[in-house]
Amino acid sequence: MADEKKCCSCEIQQVIGKPWTEIETPALMVDLDIMESNMDKMMAFLKECGAGVGIRPHAKTHKTPQIANMQMAKGALGICAAKLGEAEALAEGGVADILIANQTVGANKIKRLAALSKKTNLKVAVDSKQNLLDIARESAAIGGNVGIVVEVDVGNKRGGVRTHEEAIELAKLAASTPGVWYAGVMGYEGFAVFIPDFEERRAVADRAYDILFGYRDAIKEKAGLDSGIVSAAGSGTYMFAGKRKGLTDIQAGSYIFMDVRYGTTAGVDFLNSLAVVATIASHPEPEVYITDAGQKSMTQEFGMVSTLPSYGLKVHSMSEEHVTLRPTDDPQRLPGIGLLDEKYAKPAKKPLEVGDKILLVPSHCCTTVNLHDILYAVRNGVVEDVWRVTGRGRFA
């Protein structure tokens, strides 16, 4: 199909309107009602906090313009992208405001970045003078305008300037150099998001925001510049960041899908909406069920995948193309799994047999999505749409 936003194969599109059990496996699916309720819940939480913090959801999680556009329609201030290629895919899909929350370096990439700034309201994280000047030169040459968000290190020890002086210099340059403009500061506290102890996580995250505010204030004091964007936080820290007056937005991504890792992180109050649809391909012993999905459709760097408790099965092991499950009286019950279980596992006939479909829950939603070209969008058990994950693999 010629339309970039549509799935490329007419055959795959034919599943639209059919039950989810007709999806060819392994495949990635999202329950739309649950995902939308997660989006609504985050918006309501931020509103309730009353601190004026908005959301710039990270699209590294879904890599799908349709989902980014839904987030924008629900009031997101813009969308974060991890990489230039991902940002291009989002812009091609009509996303009007994108922050690339990483450095973009290299002559050709900077040309692409400048060109992209003519298609969408584009901002990029910068932490070095040369990078800023390279971006400005290419952008000015074609009449582009790239927003510069100075990335500062709040303790993550990844990208980000380490001193106020560097941040002030970059902000001044951004404000005074043709082709770019000064958009603000960001500092992602990634080292905090999985701290198991909730209060310890709060303390670490709050310290990170204080450091970020210190940079914002130094830029105001020494360069006279207002930071329109003061951006931080992820799905493990939104509950603290949402209450911090002074932040303009949080960059949470995973909250829309959830996974095993966030599902077992205290205080991350969202429901699992994402699953890999697999087929029981073999049941060679009463105690052994083998699926046709494995590490090539679900990543494992955050640990073992899970499944829905009502199947009465526990994931035992994973290999490239298989997951082995065994019957159990004590299945894993992720706190946010209830609705997915209710909708998909409870009504399934049991015991499962060869040929039956089963849902597996990824341990890391973002890298799992990156393995799939297609995302099946399901509502009330019926495939409502088939989306191309156009940002998938676009990490260059």
Ligand X SMILES: Cc1ncc(COP(=O)(O)O)c(C=O)c1O
Provide long-range contacts, Cβ within 8 A and 24+ apart, for 309-312: 309/333, 309/337, 309/341, 309/345, 310/341, 310/345, 310/346, 310/348, 311/345, 311/348, 311/350, 311/352, 311/358, 312/350, 312/351
Radius of gyration of the chain (CA): 22
CB-nearer residue toward ligand X: 154 or 358 = 154
Q: Is 45 in the site for ligand X (CB under 6 A)?
A: no
Report the C-alpha gap between 220 and 171 in whole angstroms: 10
Report the C-alpha gap between 296 and 278 in whole angstroms: 12
Q: Is 38 in the site for ligand X (CB under 6 A)?
A: no
Report the C-alpha gap between 311 and 254 in whole angstroms: 25
Amino acid residing at 162: R
Lookup: tokens for 85: 């290629």
| Binding segment (CB under 6 A) for ligand X, from list 164-172, 187-195, 210-218, 316-324 | 187-195
Q: Is 252 in the site for ligand X (CB under 6 A)?
A: yes
Q: Is 273 in the site for ligand X (CB under 6 A)?
A: no
Q: Is 61 in the site for ligand X (CB under 6 A)?
A: yes
Contact in structure between 118 and 152 (CB atoms under 8 Å) = no
CB-nearer residue toward ligand X: 300 or 367 = 367
Report the C-alpha gap between 376 and 111 in whole angstroms: 34
| Size of interface with ligand X, in residues (CB under 6 A) | 13
Q: Which of residues 335-374 bind ligand X (CB under 6 A)?
A: 366
Q: Is 193 in the site for ligand X (CB under 6 A)?
A: yes
Tokens 């050709």 found at: 108
Among 38, 235, 363, 368, binds ligand X (CB under 6 A): 235
Report the C-alpha gap between 169 and 252 in whole angstroms: 29
Tokens 């310890």 found at: 200
Q: Is 185 in the site for ligand X (CB under 6 A)?
A: no
Q: Compose the 292-331 pattern: x for residues touching ligand X by CB under 6 A, - for all others.
A: ----------------------------------------
Q: Is 254 in the site for ligand X (CB under 6 A)?
A: yes
Report the C-alpha gap between 330 and 244 in whole angstroms: 40
Among 38, 64, 71, 251, binds ligand X (CB under 6 A): 251
CB-nearer residue toward ligand X: 159 or 246 = 159
Q: Is 190 in the site for ligand X (CB under 6 A)?
A: yes
**Could you tell me the smallest distance in angstroms from the CB atom of residue 289 to ligand X?**
31
Q: Compose the 82-101 pattern: x for residues touching ligand X by CB under 6 A, - for all others.
A: -------------------x
**Could you tell me the smallest distance in angstroms from the CB atom of residue 259 to ligand X?**
9
Give the binding site for ligand X (CB under 6 A).
58, 61, 101, 188, 190, 193, 234-235, 251-254, 366
